[in-house]
Chain A
Amino acid sequence: MPAVSKGDGMRGLAVFISDIRNCKSKEAEIKRINKELANIRSKFKGDKALDGYSKKKYVCKLLFIFLLGHDIDFGHMEAVNLLSSNKYTEKQIGYLFISVLVNSNSELIRLINNAIKNDLSSRNPTFMCLALHCIANVGSREMAEAFAGEIPRILVAGDTMDSVKQSAALCLLRLYKTSPDLVLMGEWTSRVVHLLNDQHMGVVTAAISLITCLSQKNPDEFKTCVSLAVSRLSRIVSSASTDLQDYTYYFVPAPWLSCKLLRLLQCYPPPEDGAVKGRLVECLETILNKAQEPPKSKKVQHSNAKNAILFEAISLIIHYDSEPNLLVRACNQLGQFLQHRETNLRYLALESMCTLASSEFSHEAVKTHIETVINALKTERDVSVRQRAADLLYAMCDRSNAKQIVAEMLSYLDTADYSIREEMVLKVAILAEKYAVDYSWYVDTILNLIRIAGDYVSEEVWYRVIQIVINRDDVQGYAAKTVFEALQAPACHENMVKVGGYILGEFGNLIAGDPRSSPLVQFNLLHSKFHLCSVPTRALLLSAYIKFINLFPETKSTIQEVLRSDSQIRNSDVELQQRAVEYLKLSSIASTDVLATVLEEMPPFPERESSILAKLKKKKGPGAVSVNELEEGKREGGELNGGGERGGDNSAIAASNASTPSPSADLLGLRTGLPVSAAPPSAGSLLVDVFSEAGVNDDGFLRDLEPPTESSDSLLAEGPGDSDSTPPPPPSVVSEEPAPPLPESDELLNKFVCKNNGVLFENQLLQIGIKSEYRQNLGRMYLFYGNKTSVQFLTFTTTVTCPGELQSHILHIYTCIIQLNVQAKPVEPLIEGGAQVQQVINIESLTDFCDAPLLNIKFRYGGALQNLTLKLPVTINKFFQPTEMASHDFFQRWKQLSQPQQEAQKIFKANNAMDTEVLKAKLLGLGMALLENVDPNPENFVCAGVIQSKAQQVGSLLRLEPNAHAQMYRLTVRSSKDTVSKRLCELLAEQF
């Protein structure tokens, strides 16, 4: 008998679905759906009470319509009503609708929670499971608040049915993932671990997911699970294929559970207890042995299940990285799979080998498979497999095989799929730099790269080749020669022109002796490309020309003529025009000495971590490039180029301090809004300014470290900027005192005046996201601290203070710092690499205020104390309550607020385009009501709202008058309190 009797459906539903299926066109379908939606809507709104069956039928129809991709904006209430039905079928469909359609922000959550509460306490296992499913599927914070205490109790209670236990375990896991702060560790934790011993394999299956997640976050507390997991695994592995009955899958005993057990063990180092370790090694050996046995079934499911376990076992062996014997066996096994006829196995083998390649025990063994892997790269039909092969080649590359691998990757690039080209380019660039023995090879490789895949060569790549050429004088002549030859190709990529322009401008003199590359020939070659290039490249070429005038006085007249031509000096692009004018003047006025000083050869770039590596890391997402690899990169880089990272973490902070105008853009002098002549504060001095504002009086110190050109001469400092350009490290001693607020903290604050969610702050280490909500005079803010590195942050503490008078009586801010570990180890808060922690801040406004509270963050990253202070974006407008009013009322109130101190007015220039829609959105974001048809001039905006605080309510009216012609605004704010008007005016003036 089929478990689902097909006759039990609903006639109306079946008819509706058939109708839809018979529709001949999309239009007919939409028409039919709209008709049905109207029908359901009227039924729901109708006076006649619907019985459970009809409700169920209509809800089912809505689900079907939703599946077809139509928004469903009603029916939620009916679904919630179904929850409280006593009939199982109605309850079930109600829960289904809610799990599929209600997102975590729905306002119905309170009603739903009530129904869930009833079902949880019903002691009816089926109802309990439905309720638990719903919590797990929605997983909202409100649900966590309501049930996080209850579910652990259900999970470990002695009288709970197995099926309920299973659901409770996964439900708890979901809540722990969404709101870790609400799931409190307690007496239940130790009992959860013992679920690994449960009789019922289903319970173990569900529990192990929970335990794995908990162990990742609290390894010490769940340590005991290691020995339990090993003994469970050992029992499964050694059991005959029939022992586990239902949990045997195609002759493999409990494959899913085995995989999960092996995953759990990967959260821990090898067991210290000799007996446990022995038992585990035995298990792993058995698994490896079984792989060699003849299959018990020819079915692909059998081999899949067996190999699923095998791959997890290999991952564990690689994770331990301590048993050379097992590692070699694992490597051999993977080697076999590399040639397996199953594509899936080849894919997984390539992927596992990638991690194996970073182990010192097996790196050599992996290298023996190089030919197979290269072959895979060339011949696999499946792009995902080819991608893995490319990853593995990258991972197994070292000095001994770099030339071969780079050559293979280069030749593959020609035919590579578009989707992976950019990544391949980055990898080739990194390998070429990392393992370059002689730099002519490096230069050749990169130029080849540009030739083959110019479109995919990002700025970082060509910046980097220029940095290296400038820093190494032994390769400069060769680079000039090669690039000169490359430029002779009739069609060459713009990136090649950029590199060529830069290198010939700097080092063209090194090849000028040869009549075939005499100065004029060089110039003509470059200039022949000029007209085909984009504006930034042309700008770069113009700079190369002026350098030519300095290097080769004999080209002066030719170049001056070019600069003087209308197409340059009257170019419609202001940047090009300006350069042409200035360079022309410079070449005709300045004496040779002055010219030589201004256009002196670029000094070596400060040694820094390759920005390409950072780019690849970013592309692959956190964790994709192993720490190992990065460190190796640094080590190797340091050895070869002196490219080691210097004071990485400090400079990261510095970079973030100076984050706003990207230094790289300034270096290149290509920022449109920043005319070259008007830029005496160069990138370098900009930094200094920023620091002195921050109260760090170390200008001299900073200047000393500044590379000379970057600070001396922005006009012509045409450095190949570096997007991650690392400014000099700030003073190495960071005080334990909370740092003064970052200079840009006001600007960051302004970003949040009209919005509540977003990224508050980001540097190379840390990202802080904000979500906040306000109601009346209360607010709640969620801060998310994300560790962007792969290293732990230690002693991570945050403090919120209110500056000045704010602190004493105006704004109560009580914070609860919630970290992943807070209950267990309050003194050792740490954020794992790549992890994120959340902090909740409750805010109550007692009266109006001006200054935002300060958030100080301190932590140790790699030993160095990081200390930064930001302003929390709590501004007075957050407590606005919008007030709708008619034109008449508005003007009446406006007149009532006529005392001079009640009004604040500002006239200011537009910072952004004056787009009506954007303005409206901003004003709405401000929290006031935007009143239509009030102002006689339709161009103007008027708003009204009441600021709520505990002590008082301050009514405020606002009028914004844009003047599109002058690109100016006049902003007038009137409110019953003078400080409020003033503050609102200040805040808003920064927004438009």
Chain B
Amino acid sequence: MIKAILIFNNHGKPRLIRFYQYFAEDMQQQIIRETFHLVSKRDDNVCNFLEGGSLIGGSDYKLIYRHYATLYFVFCVDSSESELGILDLIQVFVETLDKCFENVCELDLIFHMDKVHNILQEVVMGGMVLETNMNEIVAQVELQNRMEKSEGGLSAAPARAVSAVKNMNLPEIPRNINIGDINIKVPSLSPF
């Protein structure tokens, strides 16, 4: 079972947190900090598995993570899951995000937190894997989107807001980083 899914950036800022077991709010934040501390000090070419921090259950749980450009995707799982399987699952999730957002970047996760949650929901439910087929997941997300459109009436204005933000916070030119065969556009963000 997946106990928690944490996405945070290179500075430890959480971008998405999802716990499938109840933890009080402050504990959730402590777990994020602890996990960030454990994961961020590791080199990039060491292995992708490590024992969970003491807060989340210690050695009975494993942290399985991938580091994409500015973001860490960390899954905390128990021994019933295949490590490599989860690694693939993270990849599926990220590729799905990439398809849904077209060249996903950290900003998409920030400004569309609800959408990211909805996409994740199509992959993992209550800590168990619901679907691994990317096309199926994307189809579900598109279905949601159409329903949203048909309900309509939401202003398109925020698109401008987003692009304004994207432009004003970019002292450097966005660089493209190649991960597997997907490109994730990574603006170097000033941390906040």
Contact = CB atoms under 8 A, between A and B. Distances in A.
B94 to A, nearest CB: 11
A441 B143 CA distance: 71
Given A6-B108, A343-B46, A21 B192 contact: yes
Interface in A253-270: 255-257, 259, 263
A182 interface: no
B140 A344 contact: no
Contact of A14 (B117, B135, B158): B158
A616 to B, nearest CB: 12
Contacts of A96: 114, 117-118
A4 B165 contact: no
A7 B151 CA distance: 15
A205 B144 contact: no
B91 A64 contact: no
Given A3-B99, A205-B132, A312-B82, A11 B91 contact: no
B173 interface: no
A173 B127 CA distance: 10
Contacts of A255: 85, 88
A239 B83 CA distance: 24
Contact of A63 (B46, B114, B158): B114
Contact of A308 (B49, B84, B113, B126): B84
B87 A344 contact: yes
Interface in A30-84: 53, 60, 63-64, 66-69, 71-72
A832 B130 CA distance: 28
A10 interface: yes
B132 A247 contact: yes
Helix, strand, loop or mixed for chain B's interface?
Answer: helix
A307 interface: yes
Nearest to A256: B132
Interface in A924-958: none
Interface stretch (A87-95, A281-289, A607-615, A699-707): A87-95
Given A170-B130, A209-B128, A263-B82, A384 B112 contact: no
A29 B141 CA distance: 33
B83 A100 contact: no
B47 A299 contact: no
Contacts of B102: 2
Nearest to A137: B126
B115 A4 contact: yes
Contacts of A174: 126-128
A305 B108 contact: no
A10 B47 contact: no
Given A4-B141, A256-B129, A384 B47 contact: yes
B57 to A, nearest CB: 9
B84 A205 contact: no
Given A2-B102, A69-B29, A100-B18, A202 B125 contact: no
Contact of A347 (B49, B100, B136): B49
Contacts of B155: 10-11
B49 A8 contact: no
Contacts of B131: 166, 202, 205-206
B165 to A, nearest CB: 5
Contact of A381 (B24, B43, B92): B43
Nearest to B25: A71
B125 to A, nearest CB: 5
B189 to A, nearest CB: 8
Contact of B84 (A166, A167, A304, A346): A304
A139 B1 CA distance: 14
A624 interface: yes
Nearest to B1: A177
A343 B87 CA distance: 13
A60 B114 contact: yes
A246 B134 contact: yes
A184 B159 CA distance: 50
Interface in A295-320: 299-301, 304-305, 307-308, 311-312
Given A256-B132, A344-B49, A384-B50, A68 B84 contact: no
Interface in A87-136: 87-89, 92-93, 96, 100, 103-104, 126, 132-133, 135-136
A305 B84 contact: yes
A71 B145 CA distance: 30
A290 to B, nearest CB: 15
Interface string B29-65: 1001000000000110111111100000011100000
A621 B60 contact: yes
A385 interface: yes
Task: Indicate the member of B60, B82, B129 with the most A CB atoms within 10 Å.
Answer: B82
Interface in A191-210: 201-202, 205-206, 209
Contacts of B132: 205, 247, 249, 256-257
Contact of B17 (A13, A67, A135, A205): A67
A8 B156 contact: yes
A15 B165 CA distance: 9
B153 A14 contact: no
B39 to A, nearest CB: 11
A247 B92 CA distance: 11
A14 B115 CA distance: 14
Q: Chain A interface: which size bin?
A: 35 or more
Given A255-B85, A308-B85, A382-B46, A14 B126 contact: no
A660 interface: no
Contacts of A23: 192
B169 interface: yes
B2 to A, nearest CB: 11
A613 B81 CA distance: 28
A6 B162 contact: yes
A206 B132 CA distance: 10
Contacts of A223: none
B180 interface: yes
Given A71-B26, A100-B18, A88 B49 contact: no
Interface string A168-182: 001101100100000
B88 A299 contact: no
A8 B148 contact: yes
Nearest to A96: B117
B172 interface: no
Nearest to B138: A3
B148 A7 contact: no
User: Which residue of A14, A64, A96 has the most chain B CB atoms within 10 A of its CB atom?
Assistant: A14
Contact of B161 (A11, A104, A259, A624): A11
A370 interface: no
Contact of A205 (B58, B129, B143): B129
Given A205-B131, A206-B130, A620-B59, A53 B18 contact: no
Contacts of A167: 125, 130
B42 to A, nearest CB: 7
Contact of A2 (B80, B101, B148): B101
Interface string B64-86: 00000000000000001011110
B59 A624 contact: yes
B133 interface: yes
A96 B16 CA distance: 13
A9 B145 contact: no
Given A3-B101, A11-B157, A201-B133, 17 more contacts: A2-B102, A4-B145, A8-B156, A67-B14, A67-B113, A69-B25, A69-B29, A92-B118, A126-B143, A133-B121, A163-B140, A205-B132, A257-B132, A308-B85, A344-B84, A382-B46, A384-B51
7 contacts: A9-B161, A69-B25, A88-B147, A88-B148, A205-B131, A305-B84, A308-B82
5 nearest A-B residue pairs (beta carbon): A136-B126, A308-B84, A7-B159, A382-B46, A9-B158
Interface of A: 2-11, 13-15, 17-18, 20-23, 29, 53, 60, 63-64, 66-69, 71-72, 87-89, 92-93, 96, 100, 103-104, 126, 132-133, 135-137, 139, 163, 166-167, 170-171, 173-174, 177, 201-202, 205-206, 209, 212, 246-247, 249, 255-257, 259, 263, 299-301, 304-305, 307-308, 311-312, 343-344, 346-348, 381-382, 384-385, 387, 620-621, 624
